[in-house]
Amino acid sequence: MRIFFATDIHGSDVCWKKFINAGEYYRADVLILGGDMTGKAVVPVVQETSGKWTARFLEQDFTFLSREEVMKFQTIVANRGYYAFIVDRAEYDDIVGSPEAKSLINAIYEEKVIERIRGWLEWATEKIQRRPIPVFCCPGNDDFFGIDEVIREYPVITHGEGQIVPLSEGYRLLSMGWTSPTPWNTFREASEEELGQKLETLAQVSGSMDHVICNIHCPPYGSSIDEAPELDENMRPKLAGNSLIPVGSKSVRVFLERYQPLVSLHGHIHEGRGFKRIGKRTMAFNPGSQYEQGVLLGALVDVGGPKGIRQYSLTQG
């Protein structure tokens, strides 16, 4: 069985399409998308009273003179994982000037996220119906809970969070999108103790871990695939991001060392691209993420036979 795994696409339209197309391209038997499907922010495109449109994106100011230019900009924003929305000047001023501005903007953000997720799943349904392949999606710590029910509405995609589901050839997929605490207080975070308990519960349901493929968003601590830039007191990278420290989960490490699943797939740490053996048996992978560049990083793993893992590689496309 050939597994293609990618993660942390953070709202990127082009990365989602590459992920779905990866099944045919790599001749994979199953596609697994790790956590953090959603993007980071909305980008207002303001229609001014003069008739032109203005926007600020990634610290750059833009002016557009036609709807065609606006549409091209929306595509650029979507491919980089953000959410453009059109608003006239009066409405924009009302939103940002409101005492409830934060909640209003958050409501717009959630609406745009749901809209894109739904569009992704409808597009994927058409593709998968033409070339059937099992696809599993598991939200991560950055994903608010409203997307879960949307994913479950589309039967061609299996929502894997917190479950053990069968694959082919007797293998099973165990998925956990929660992480240990982060500095950003995201949606699906738990203490190390709580995360360990969640994983332990799944292990007890699973029984034997001999043919289990783990999809655990948070990588194991001290595994080299969990290294991220060290932050200062202002939450900025030290030494221009060149000082790396392990930030993975100790409870995930304990879980993998104890139960020794065949394969463990991770994400969360975009800079942590690589693979590492944990204990005597488990091969852990983090393909990393370059979603803002429109690049889909992945891990291709062939399992089966007496050795369990036949071959593996990290991909980029």
3-state DSSP helix/strand/coil % of the chain, to nearest 5: 35, 30, 40
Residue 274: count of CB within 10 angstroms of its CB: 18
Q: In the prediction, which pLDDT does 240 show? A: 67
| Cα distance between residue 284 and residue 304, in whole Å | 17
Q: Of 169, 167, 172, 164, give the one whose Cα is nearest residue 198.
A: 164
Q: In the prediction, which pLDDT does 238 show? A: 86
pLDDT of the chain, 317 residues: tens digit per residue: 999 999 999 999 999 999 999 999 999 999 999 999 999 999 999 999 999 999 999 999 999 999 999 999 999 999 999 999 999 999 999 999 999 999 999 999 999 999 999 999 999 999 998 889 999 999 999 999 999 999 999 999 999 999 999 999 999 999 999 999 999 999 999 999 999 999 999 999 988 899 999 999 999 999 999 999 998 888 788 876 778 899 999 999 999 999 999 999 999 999 999 999 999 999 999 999 999 999 999 999 999 988 899 999 999 99
The pTM score is 0.96
Contacts of 87 (CB under 8 A, 6+ apart): 44, 45, 46, 47, 95
Tokens of 282: 């488990």
Q: In the prediction, which pLDDT does 232 show? A: 86
Q: In the prediction, which pLDDT does 247 show? A: 97
Which domains are assigned to the chain? 2-40+109-316 (3.60.21.10)
